[in-house]
Structure 1
Amino acid sequence: MDSVPCEVWLEIFSILERSHLFALRYVSRSFQRIAGPFIFKHFHFHPYAGLGGHTTGNFLLPSEAKIRRTVRRLRFWASENVAPLVKECTVSPWDGWQGYTSCNGGDMLLCTFIELLPRFTNLRKFGSSSVKFTQPFVDALGSLPNLKEIDVGRCSIDEDVTIDHPLQMEALSFTNMDTTWFRHELNTIGMQRWSSMVDRQMLTHISLPSAEAMKAFLDVDTAPFPNVTTLDAYIDQNTTSLHRFPAVRKLRIVSYEKAFSQRSGSCFPRLEEYHGLPEYLTVLDSRATPRRLQFDLCMPARILRILQPCAHTLRSVTTLAVSFDTLPSAILRPIMESFGVLLDFRMEIKVEWYSQLKPEMHNAKALFLEVAENSPFPRSIKVIALIWRFDKGDNWPLPAVDVLPAARTAWVALKTEHPNLREASFCLARVATPMETSIR
């Protein structure tokens, strides 16, 4: 073991499952020292179970014997030897309800956790779901010197919570903000309080993936977030709020809107990576030179209409990932012509059963043969992945044995025409099952 650099062992141990790490601890003392930080990196704590949690008072607690075991486990994790190893912590209800009973004292285990939380001095990321933040809870979070990320979902917060100094967070996320679980006003008030408790000058990552989260968080005031470089946000037809994030380099937009009713200039002059609907490319600043684009489940003709007036934002794109509901036979080449320096291209096509009734639509075999006969890709291309997914079941008219020769033909032709090509993948797969055939 001494002949192998420690960095190599760390890389190996980082990809192992937790059960394997436990076994390796008994091999030698050296393995025990290496495995420890990986085994105790993430602590999951479940103080109760039940739908609604603190907003309804419907707590479900385990038996007294299990409560005692849970407290002993908590104190073990908060011990002097283990607590410094914990880097991430998640507090959420237990999914399995067997053996749980209703109880009004739902804070019993949570209060013990709050009391011991300051011992996790190296904790960097804290996540929670369906819990209530009280003053002691917020104070405990504020006492953690290395805490940089908070992820809250379906959580409420006491009205009288105050802080002496803003929380120095780098990342703040609001996930699972589903109003069918928590009342809308509790979601809104809680998110507005979080917005006022963090130092927005420190924030570099914000995730607001729902309309409620976006509105509540931004409605506190109109001040910008000058240092946010990664933004995950839900946007409706009004794009005005996007101007409050001038430094964003990585953007993911969740939206179901295909048109804008309100536009206010352009934004994101430093954008490097975009994931969302193609329509939002039209709001990018002309100085933006994104290198990575991803569009999900779009109609090909729609993308083509957007790409043509956005040529100035596509001149530096080297990585493109798209997924289509269907693929008309003549649409791939015009799309590829918009990306002159593309290096990595991934296209996934999901074909519903009714698409095969339309004669203008490709099938997998025809697509692969067309690519082989006349490549639409730029000469700079290095990686290609074409994935054809279908939901037709056992009656699919093109079994894998018929598609495989076409895939092989495409690979040989592309390798000949594109000298820089180092990887090509042509796959036929069912929507919900592993791939049936592929060739590289």
Structure 2
Amino acid sequence: MSEREQLEIATELWDEIVGFLSTEDDRQTLQHLNLINRRFHHVARPRLFADFKFHPYSVASDSYGMSAEHLLLPLHPYPQRLRQRLEFWASEDIASLVRDCTVQPLEFEESERAHPPGEDPYALLKAFYEFLPRFVNLKSFDAFTLHFTNLGIANLCLLPKLRTMSVDMCTVAEGETLDTPSKLKLETFRFANSDELEEWWLRGICPDSLHTLGLDLSGVYDQRFFYDLQPSIPTFHNVRSLELALGRHPASHHVATLSRFPGLKELALPRWGGMPGIAINLEELGDAKYCPLLERYYGPAAVLPFLPLSTLTNVTVEPCEPHGFLAKIRSVVEPQSTSRMWYLSVSFVGYLPSLRDLSDLFLNLTILRVTISGRPWFYAGPETDDSQVAVSFFESLPSSLPQQIVKLAINWRFKAPVVLPDMKQLKDDILAQRPTLKTLWIHCVHSAFVWSEMPDGNPSMAMGGPEFADSILPAFEMFFSGFWRSPDFREDEVSTVDL
């Protein structure tokens, strides 16, 4: 393309075109564009220096130690080069271009390649903290195994555009006690895997500015630690999205924490490391109710009775025993109440003869995804014939669905072969009783059936054996998971599945 042709294209359009280039994968292309002419220089240069990654020290690959004695400096001449690189990025012309910063250690397979004990492992880290105020346009800061100091926190608080921060496996620098009065004015904060800083971080963030919060406490060893800290945690009235990883902690400790987030619209409580099907004891919570504005929930079924079912629209329930789940919901659903819930994804560990009871509880469901899998190894009940259960379930399916169902997905995970009905006839029977249906997925271990009414009104249908079932499973998971908007969910990550 000639320079004249380049000039005929608006700068705003070049900005959009170059915006598709990755600062990592397409860095060489950006460097070439930066050198072509003044116009491309102004377009490419901000993207070349938008992401800054810095390594203030090193660790051996087999140990991400939390104490200063585990931190190492690389052998000469790397410290000098890293210092020079830091000074370049912190220079007046470059620092203002940085939008995202990631700080994490270098990794060596052998510690002998790093500086011997006796050297100050914080030498580069101290310089980094001193230069922080120069990054005036920094929007996002990610820290992994970083040792924080009061100076580092205070200088982060000085950054006027910092809105997103992620802290993973971080601690306090040796000899420091975090006591800075400054508060971070963040909109999004994620914290994980530390036994020391949970309370400080939640007190060190301005409560009025925070909108999205992710707390992974699965690595905290004291099971009552976070629960005992609740009196000192401020109330975050403006947090709308919360993800709180339960780990192996008693769920009641975490559920009670929800009182600090009265404005929640989205709540995710993933039970990392939990055993599907094992009951959660929440009796100590009594009749408490939390999150009066909640609309979307992902987590254990046992928590649902403590949430406002009348406001929920989207619910994803982790593996649970079907009859126990239905009993819990019946105990809190008010007679003649109108449910707003239009999306439900539930995974049952055990046999379910029909969806009728489920449909009667949630009358307005338009999207329903049900996974049914075999009893866990610890189940002591009588054995059941998988084939007979499947026959009964699919025979009752057309008449047991919600009246306004639009999208239906059944994932049958019993490993034993079962005799399935004629899927085309089953689809016709469902449409005869539920004419609103537009999409039907039935996925089993040994076969799968997919039917959908396309936007132009024409149907699309496919079916097949084990290979076909395996091939469409990723699309199945994606298509029916996009309706839950977790704190990390983005609208553009969900696309229409090509049938």
Cα distance, 1:130 vs. partner?
Answer: 1.6
C-alpha separation between the residues in 2 aligned to 1:340 and 1:16? 46
- Where does residue 198 of structure 2 map in the other structure? 191
Counterpart for residue 19 of structure 1: 25
Residues 299 and 325 of structure 1 are in contact (CA less than 8 Å); yes or no, is this contact kept in structure 2? yes
> In the aligned structure 2, how far is the partner of 1:49 from the partner of 1:14?
34
Q: Show structure 2 runs of 5+ residues with no match.
A: 1-5, 447-466, 477-498
Match of 2:456 in 1: none
| 1:375/1:110 CA distance change after superposition, 3 Å | farther
Deviation at 1:133, TM superposition (A): 0.7
The 8 Å contact of residues 274 and 292 in structure 1, kept in 2 or not, is answered as: yes
Cα gap change, 1:74 to 1:160, in 2 (>3 Å): same
CA distance in 1, matches of 2:285, 2:104: 40
1:269 match: secondary structure: coil
Residue 434 (structure 1) shift: 10
Match of residue 289 from structure 2: 266
**What's the TM-score once normalised by structure 1's chain length?**
0.76
TM superposition shift of 1:196: 3.1
Question: What TM-score, normalized by structure 2, do the two folds share?
Answer: 0.68
Deviates most, 145-154 or 208-217: 208-217
Q: Give the deviation of 1:274 after TM superposition.
A: 1.0
2:407 paired with 1:383: yes
Given residue 470 of structure 2, which amino acid in structure 1 is its aligned partner? E
Structure 2 residue aligned with 1:317: 341
Match of 2:182 in 1: 165
2:18/2:44 contact within 8 Å kept: no
Alpha-carbon displacement from aligned partner over 1:53-108 (angstroms, at most 9, x marks no partner): 44251123333244444445444544555544433322223355357425443223
How many residue pairs align between the two structures? 416
Query: Larger Rg: 1 or 2?
Result: 2
Q: Separation in 2 of the partners of 1:252 and 1:16?
A: 31
2:384 counterpart residue number? 359
State the distance in 2 between where 1:8 and 1:329 align: 57
Aligned to 1:136: 151
Matches within 5 A, 1:26-425: 26=32, 40-47=49-56, 48-50=58-60, 51-80=63-92, 82-95=94-107, 97=109, 100-101=113-114, 103-104=116-117, 105-157=120-172, 159-177=176-194, 187-188=195-196, 190-210=197-217, 212=220, 215=226, 218-219=229-230, 221=232, 223-233=234-244, 234=246, 236-238=251-253, 239-254=255-270, 258-263=280-285, 265-285=288-308, 288-312=310-334, 315-326=339-350, 328-351=351-374, 358-361=383-386, 369-370=394-395, 374=398, 376-389=400-413, 397=417, 410-411=426-427, 413-414=429-430, 417-425=433-441
Q: Give the conservation status (yes or no) of the 8 Å contact 1:191–1:217.
A: no
Residue ranges of structure 1 left out of the alignment (5+ in a row):
178-186
Distance 1:61 1:70 in 2: 10
Aligned equivalents of 1:417 and 1:363: distance in 2? 24
Give the Cα–Cα distance (whole angstroms) in 2 for the partners of residues 153 and 71 of structure 1: 24
The alpha carbon displacement at 1:297 in A equals 1.9
The sequence identity of aligned pairs, in percent, is: 24
Distance 1:6-1:219 versus aligned 2 partners, 3 A rule: same
Root-mean-square deviation over aligned CA pairs: 4.2
CA distance in 2: counterparts of 1:39 and 1:410, whole angstroms: 56
Whole-angstrom CA distance in 2 between matches of 1:358 and 1:15? 57
Going from structure 1 to structure 2, the CA distance change for 1:40 and 1:376 (only over 3 Å counts) comes to farther
